[in-house]
Amino acid sequence: MRAPLPSLLLALLSISATLGSARVLDATVNLTAVLDTLSATSFEYIVVGGGNGASPSRLRPAGSRLTPSLHAAGLAVAARISQSSPSRKVLVLEAGQSGAGNPGIDIPGLAGTTLGTAVDWSFFTAPQEQAGTRSIFWPRGKVLGGSSALNFLVSTRPNAAEQDVWASLAGSSAWSWQNLLPFYKKAEHFFAPGTNTENEVPTFTASAHGTTGPIDVSYPPYLAPSFRGFFQSLRALGVPAAQDLHSGNNVGVNYAPSTIDPSDRSRSYSVEYLQVAPNLVVVTGAQVTKINFAGTKDTAGDVVARGVTFVPVGGDQKVVANASREVILSAGTVQTPQLLELSGIGDPAILNPLGISTLVNLPGVGANLQDHPAIVDVFRLKPGVPSLDQLQDPVVLAAALADYAQGRGILTEALFPLAYLRLSDFLNASELAQVETLGSQANNPQLSAQQYGASQTLWSKNVPVMELLSVNVYFGNGEAEPNQSYVSLAACLQHSLSRGSIHITSSDPLAPPAIDPNYLQSQLDTFLLAKAGQYLRRVATQSPLADFVESEAEPGPAVQSEQQWEDWTRSVVRTEYHPIGTASMTARANGGVVAPNLKVYGTANVRVVDMSVVPVHVSSHTQTVAYAIAEKAASLILSGA
């Protein structure tokens, strides 16, 4: 653990960190400085959306990372281009502001407390037809670092077979497991596990990890007793142990590492990339409203982007920023399709009624939305079993913060054990036969032949379908009881057959788009989630987890029959926060939006670098995927592809 440093040394560290990192200006604080920079610099690349940054918080000792930064994929691609040569002029425009000093961002155990605050876009879905017509909360980071600043810090990677199906949908082996693995590693700085409070020893495969990237991946020193219980109960029920959820073989349960800087146990997120790019210019508080195009097409008949227009958040002045080479959209699965549509790229049937003329007819924009739908069973813990619920008590919180300042205790924890189950891991023979029927193409007309084929391939290769995880706090569907501690067990469907969309409903760029994930559109999704909910009830009644559990709070004993479980599933289904697919990397004729080099079809120089390009979902948390896409994008761009 870090010893307290003399303040002079801290000051020196802070100066060198500032000198070595990107320049961050805020359009809402000093627009004059931003305008001066825009007119003084001829930018080659503009990246829209910057997700990641960090800085010292009041609540932890100042130290390692002292600079704010941007969004997940956007910051990573911008930093890598900028880093390649001092003469590369790269501008990042991010709507949110720096999250520096926000303890809810920095402290792992406080993850989730930022949801619904100023650093969150706080979207809601359209009313979900198959889920009680509820509008479901959909957080997304509105801060430098984007959703990587708000997420639950879990680090995993897809199954190798999923990455290969993605490559085949893309029509390019560049995106296969083998070929993308170096880019996953490039983002990562992995630290092997030390000891933890439950004396559990996480297994890992050293060769799967990177050790020189900006994003720290490590194991917390605090392991909740209920987390050990969850892991061991799953093993007792026959779930295999996974060696490492980063290795491409992710079947089974494993203690997964988290994106945490082990030197001070603070969140490691995309802002770390600012440290490798001293020439990068980042403007925060700048919401991009459209891409600007040249009046004429190029010789290939493609439209040519000249730059973007943005507004300082809260203001009404329109500012034009020019880019001599490319505009790179990294606004995420929600806002990348929104910006394409606002700029005239999309389905004329959506654009025309809003008075937007179609520059590129591309009906795939905003379609093919896929998420990981989730349900959460909640259990009351016996008195004295530690959980984050206890931090409601100011005395307990103060003690936990004091521990955290020493690099230990419950606030260093993140989601730790995760299980990835195949169908056969939680379904019996007759249930597997039901899956065949409910999952048939005839029962899922929403799937194109290509998308249906992709899911068939994945099932035949035995990739995980269901993720199970435990949360060491009330994470249920209503309200926690006062002075009660909980463990929440989530089942998250990794290969939903439902398909949704995200489209603008207004030409006003500041109006949020309509988000319709179409949860439970496929009956198979409801069936699988209801079965997994029942399985989690079994996990909680299996020792050793059962030894910590007092009683089931949700859904509670009234829910027993198959029908009751499915009804309950419809009443509580929500997001695991992993939307993808609204600018899919696949053939234009199959609804694709970007080519394998990430360029938007019909454009000469607009690329998408974020989770919206993923054509079919993967059994993994998604931040590592966002980083890998960004690292790959930088390599494509710098090699002239």
Ligand X SMILES: Cc1cc2nc3c(=O)[nH]c(=O)nc-3n(C[C@H](O)[C@H](O)[C@H](O)COP(=O)(O)OP(=O)(O)OC[C@H]3O[C@@H](n4cnc5c(N)ncnc54)[C@H](O)[C@@H]3O)c2cc1C
| Residue 180 touching ligand X (CB under 6 A) | no
Letters for 510-549 (x = contact with ligand NAG by CB under 6 A, - = none) are ----------------------------------------
H helices of 140-260, in order, are: 160-170, 177-187, 225-236
Rounded to whole angstroms, the Cα distance separating 256 from 638 reads 33
Show the CA angle centred on residue 625, arms to residues 211 and 367, nearest 5°. Answer: 170
Task: Write down how long the chain is.
Answer: 641
Phi-psi region of 329 (alpha: psi -120 to 50; beta: other; left: phi over 0): beta
Among 7, 32, 199, 296, the residue binding ligand NAG under the rule CB under 6 A is 32
Q: Using CB under 6 A, which of the segments 36-44, 119-127, 181-189, 447-455 binds ligand NAG? A: 36-44
| Residue 626 touching ligand X (CB under 6 A) | yes
Amino acid 244 reads D
Which sign does the torsion angle of CA 260, 264, 269, 270 carry? negative
In the complex, least distance from residue 29 CB atom to ligand NAG, rounded to whole angstroms: 7
Q: Measured from the CB atom, is 1 or 320 closer to ligand NAG?
A: 320
Q: Does 154 count as an annotated binding residue?
A: yes
DSSP codes, 439-465 = TSSTT-TTS-HHHHHHHHHHHHTT---
In the complex, least distance from residue 324 CB atom to ligand NAG, rounded to whole angstroms: 10
Q: Which of 209, 495, 578, 617 is catalytic?
A: 578
Rounded to whole angstroms, the Cα distance separating 272 from 590 reads 37
| Residue 33 touching ligand NAG (CB under 6 A) | yes
- Tokens 């439209």, residue located: 303
| Residue 639 touching ligand NAG (CB under 6 A) | no
**Phi, psi (deg, nearest 5) at residue 384:** 90, -15
Contacts of 91 (CB under 8 A, 6+ apart): 38, 41, 43, 45, 46, 47, 281, 282, 283, 321, 323
CB 150 within 8 A of CB 141: yes
Instruction: Compute CA distances 262 → 89, 173, 207, whole Å.
Output: 33, 35, 20
Rounded to whole angstroms, the Cα distance separating 346 from 192 reads 46
CB 589 within 8 A of CB 624: no
Among 125, 148, 322, 635, the residue binding ligand NAG under the rule CB under 6 A is 322
Residue 622's binding partner out of ligand NAG, ligand X, none, with CB under 5 to 8 Å set by partner kind? ligand X
Residue 482, CB-side half-sphere exposure with 13 Å CA sphere: 1
Q: Does 153 count as an annotated binding residue?
A: yes
In the complex, least distance from residue 447 CB atom to ligand NAG, rounded to whole angstroms: 25
Q: Does 143 count as an annotated binding residue?
A: yes
Among 1, 4, 15, 36, the residue binding ligand NAG under the rule CB under 6 A is 36
| Residue 433 touching ligand NAG (CB under 6 A) | no
Residue 346, CB-side half-sphere exposure with 13 Å CA sphere: 27
The count of residues interacting with ligand X (CB under 6 A) is 41
Does the active-site annotation cover 372?
no
Beta-ladder partners of 154: 258
Q: Does 66 count as an annotated binding residue?
A: no
Amino acid 258 reads S
Phi-psi region of 199 (alpha: psi -120 to 50; beta: other; left: phi over 0): left
Q: Does 249 count as an annotated binding residue?
A: no
Q: Using CB under 6 A, which of the segments 29-37, 139-147, 168-176, 265-273 binds ligand NAG? A: 29-37
CA-based Rg of the chain, rounded to a whole angstrom? 23
In the complex, least distance from residue 513 CB atom to ligand X, rounded to whole angstroms: 10
Q: Using CB under 6 A, which of the segments 69-77, 160-168, 227-235, 404-412 binds ligand X? A: 69-77
Rounded to whole angstroms, the Cα distance separating 65 from 56 reads 7
- Tokens 């059994």, residue located: 619
Among 7, 87, 133, 430, the residue binding ligand NAG under the rule CB under 6 A is 430
Residue 148's binding partner out of ligand X, ligand NAG, none, with CB under 5 to 8 Å set by partner kind? ligand X
| Residue 30 touching ligand NAG (CB under 6 A) | yes
In the complex, least distance from residue 30 CB atom to ligand NAG, rounded to whole angstroms: 4
Letters for 410-429 (x = contact with ligand NAG by CB under 6 A, - = none) are ------------------xx
Rounded to whole angstroms, the Cα distance separating 420 from 429 reads 19
Q: Measured from the CB atom, is 357 or 561 closer to ligand NAG?
A: 561
In the complex, least distance from residue 349 CB atom to ligand NAG, rounded to whole angstroms: 31
Burial level of 590, CB count in 10 A (0-12/13-18/19+)?
middle
Rounded to whole angstroms, the Cα distance separating 83 from 34 reads 21
Q: Measured from the CB atom, is 288 or 414 closer to ligand NAG?
A: 288
Letters for 315-334 (x = contact with ligand X by CB under 6 A, - = none) are ---------------xxx--
Q: Does 152 count as an annotated binding residue?
A: yes
Residue (of 465, 311, 287) closest to 373 by Cα position: 465
Residue 38's binding partner out of ligand X, ligand NAG, none, with CB under 5 to 8 Å set by partner kind? ligand NAG
Does the active-site annotation cover 617?
no
In the complex, least distance from residue 430 CB atom to ligand NAG, rounded to whole angstroms: 4
* Nearest residue (beta carbon) to ligand NAG: 33
Rounded to whole angstroms, the Cα distance separating 558 from 492 reads 22
Residues that bind ligand NAG (CB under 6 A): 30, 32-33, 36, 38-39, 320, 322, 428-431, 482-483
Binding-site sequence positions for FAD: 143, 151-154, 288
What are the residues binding ligand X (CB under 6 A)?
Answer: 48-51, 71-74, 93-96, 115, 139-142, 146-148, 150-154, 287-288, 330-332, 335, 339, 577-578, 610-611, 621-624, 626
Q: Which residues are catalytic?
A: 578, 621
